[in-house]
Amino acid sequence: MKLVKLSLAAAIAASTLVSSASAVALEEAIKDVDLSGMAFVRYQNAKRDAYVADGNWWKFKSVLTLKTKIDDNFFMLAGFQYGAAKEWGSSGDPANHNQAIENKGFNTDKTFNVTQALLGYNIGGTTVMVGRYALGTFFTDDMLGTGIKVVNTDVQGLTLAALWADALQNDGDVLGTIDDGSQNGLDVRNAIAKAVQRDVLSHNLYGVAAIGSYDPVAFQIWYASLQDVANLFAIEAGLNFNITDDVNLGVTGQYAFTDMDGDLKEKLPAAVDSKFAAGKAEFGAFGFDMSAGYVYYKAKDGGISLSSLDDNGQFIAAGQVLVPDSGVSNYHAYTGKNDYWFVTAGYKIPNTGVSFGVDYVDGKFQSGTVVTGAEEFKAKEIVGRLGYKYNKKLNFTSWYSYIDYDPETMVDDKTFRVQAQYKF
């Protein structure tokens, strides 16, 4: 979103030479630079399994992006982030506080980072970017890498992309912690996760994509190769019908598979191939919105695998905590067979900015140690949501999640979050 045009170098020069007869006019000094970004503050309270974390947590984050036009073809982009990489707060169980910090990456070590720094070149419908950039793949969320990215839009409705990157960002989400409810199992899984993380962060990532939009059809086809670690493939296809200005209907399907590299399998026999499939139907009318879907993903032979490299990428998620966030079934670290169905419903009150909704998730997952094999568990999640959109820039959101595990020996999860976010 373009709101302010600001040239930092020009502004400094203008302030320095303000008393000079040759000072640059302010209007001239601040043109050709676009400013965008966001900032949020979040509070979260969780009563969860001791190996995951239990207590009160805060997260503060602000992101600023500056894009400078050099001429008709060249541009530069710089991104800055202020805020801890992860939440920080107090553990409900002091004995597990250090364990929680190690597992979840709760720290305040790095409060300011340069997230992007690149030189771009436009020619026709092709853009080439070289430097530090957000990968923006189907398999990643906000992961960064250093390299080159090429995007082409010469064919109407079709975007083609290719990238190469190394020096991948380590934010703790690459094949992260898997919690099977036992300290022994946790130690084994963490050892595997850390070994794979080292391989992920020390190897090159290659990717290609074709993204199309031809109303009412939209699709994405992605292939990524993490050198000596894994090959990932994903396809998404959807239909969206705007029946009237107030009524719309959509369906989306996804399929993906991961082929772990043979050398990695030899080093870590528990690292195995996997597949993912999901579908979702959505309906909206006069402020009401509803959806229903199914998610299935399986690591071969009860081993450990992944479908995404960072968080949950662009894969369909069920609920708020159970599938996207938990230590047992997130898409960047899972074991055995996992399948869930879900339904959601919500309503936005006209002319107030107030919205509320509820999610329900029901499914099964497998977990266990490398030695004992995968054991099946059941889980249900109910999520209540409440939001208030103050204006186009400022938005308040909150939710409460309750997860009921079966068997009862697993500790139920209760998580509450409230957040205020400003975009500019």
Secondary structure letter of residue 321 according to DSSP: T
Q: By CB neighbour count within 10 A (0-12 exposed, 13-18 middle, 19+ buried), where does 154 fall?
A: exposed
Instruction: Please compute Rg for the chain using Cα positions.
Output: 23
Q: Is residue 50 over pLDDT 60?
A: no
Q: Where are the alpha helices (DSSP H) in 253-402?
A: 262-267
Coil, strand or helix: which one is 307?
coil
Q: Is residue 4 over pLDDT 50?
A: no
Mean pLDDT of the chain: 81
Which domains, ranges and CATH numbers included, belong to the chain?
A: 32-423 (2.40.160.10)
Q: By CB neighbour count within 10 A (0-12 exposed, 13-18 middle, 19+ buried), where does 262 fall?
A: exposed
Q: By CB neighbour count within 10 A (0-12 exposed, 13-18 middle, 19+ buried), where does 265 fall?
A: middle
In this predicted structure, what is the pLDDT of residue 27?
64
Q: Sign of torsion, CA 103 319 311 315?
A: positive
Question: Which is more confident, 99 or 386?
Answer: 386
Antiparallel, parallel or unpaired: β 55-69 and 33-47: antiparallel
Tell me what the mean pLDDT of segment 276-301 comes to: 96
> For residue 25, how many other CB atoms are within 10 A of its CB?
8
Question: Which is more confident, 198 or 233?
Answer: 233
Coil, strand or helix: which one is 413?
strand
* Most confident residue range from 107-116, 144-153, 199-208, 309-318: 144-153
In this predicted structure, what is the pLDDT of residue 18?
45
Residues in the chain: 424
d(CA 375, CA 130): 46
The pLDDT-based confidence of 53 (bands split at 50, 70, 90) is low
Residue-wise pLDDT for 346-371, tens only, equals 999 999 999 999 999 999 988 755 54
In this predicted structure, what is the pLDDT of residue 132?
95
> For residue 278, how many other CB atoms are within 10 A of its CB?
22
In this predicted structure, what is the pLDDT of residue 97?
37
In this predicted structure, what is the pLDDT of residue 183?
42
The answer, yes or no, to whether the previous bond of 407 is cis (omega within 30 of 0) is yes
Tell me what the mean pLDDT of segment 60-84 comes to: 90
In this predicted structure, what is the pLDDT of residue 96?
38
> For residue 39, how many other CB atoms are within 10 A of its CB?
16
- Angle (CA) 167-168-174 rounded to 5° is 145
Residue-wise pLDDT for 160-209, tens only, equals 999 999 888 865 555 544 444 444 444 445 555 555 555 556 679 999 99
Tell me what the mean pLDDT of segment 18-35 comes to: 63
In terms of Cα–Cα distance, which of 249, 199, 209 is closest to 229?
199
* One-letter identity of residue 32: D
In this predicted structure, what is the pLDDT of residue 333?
79
Which residues have C-beta within 8 Å of that of residue 363, sequence separation ≥ 6?
295, 318, 322, 323, 338, 339, 340, 341, 378, 379
